[in-house]
Structure formats: C-alpha cells, structure tokens
Amino acid sequence: MITLGAFLVFCGFFSAYATSRKAIPVSHSQPGKWFSHDPKRSKMISLVFFILSLALFICVKGLLSGIFLFTITLMVFGSLIVILTPLRLFSPAVVFVVFALLFLAEFILV
C-alpha cells in the first residue's frame, strides 16, 4: 500500500509540475501533453491524487506517521521530478515498470 501511495504522490506532483509555466515543458509524453494543455483540470487532478495518497498513508500508518510519510514522499518525488524531467527520463513505460517492481517487492518482502 505504501507503493500505491507513492505512485499517487508521483502522479500528483507530475501533473502539478506539468502545469507550471516556469518549468521546462514535459510535452514529450502523452500525459505531459494533456496536462500542459488543460492546466485547470490538471491542478484539480493533482489535488485529488495528493488527497488520496495522504488518506492512504494515514490509513496505513496512522495520523502523524501518515502525514510525515506523505511529506517525505512528496519531497523525494518532487525533487526527482524537478531534476530528472528535463533529462526526459520519465516515460510512462519506465514509470509503470519501476512502480510495478516496487509493488511486487513490497508484497514479496512483507
């Protein structure tokens, strides 16, 4: 469940990053194109992703631990997206493969 929450944080921050006017455009992928063409809807979607991930973290870890985990996850993925998106390292296939492997590892090890 932690991986699912992390994936929601990643999707939320990526959609919020794609609507930024100061950031390098992320229109090299289909989701990036859609997010940049419809910024109002993208900001609402990112807010929904953030609220869902926060609720998931709180349900799994408790109130204060869930808020802390959400904050740390948001900072980590925010930094990675800001640093690695201009290098065009995030394609939908790479993101899904990485999170699928993390999801499998979470259930195998727990």
Residue 93: which domain range? 2-109
Is 9 within 8 Å of 76 (Cβ atoms)? Answer: no
- Count up the domains in the chain and report the number: 1
Is 90 exceeded by the pLDDT of residue 19?
no
Q: What is the average pLDDT across 7-28?
A: 83
Query: What's residue 26's pLDDT?
Result: 63
Residue 60 burial class via C-beta count within 10 angstroms: exposed 0-12, middle 13-18, buried 19 and up: middle
Cα 49 from Cα 69, distance rounded (Å): 15
pLDDT tens, position by position, 24-59: 766 566 766 777 778 899 899 999 999 999 999 999
pLDDT tens, position by position, 54-105: 999 999 999 999 999 999 999 999 999 999 888 888 788 888 999 999 999 9
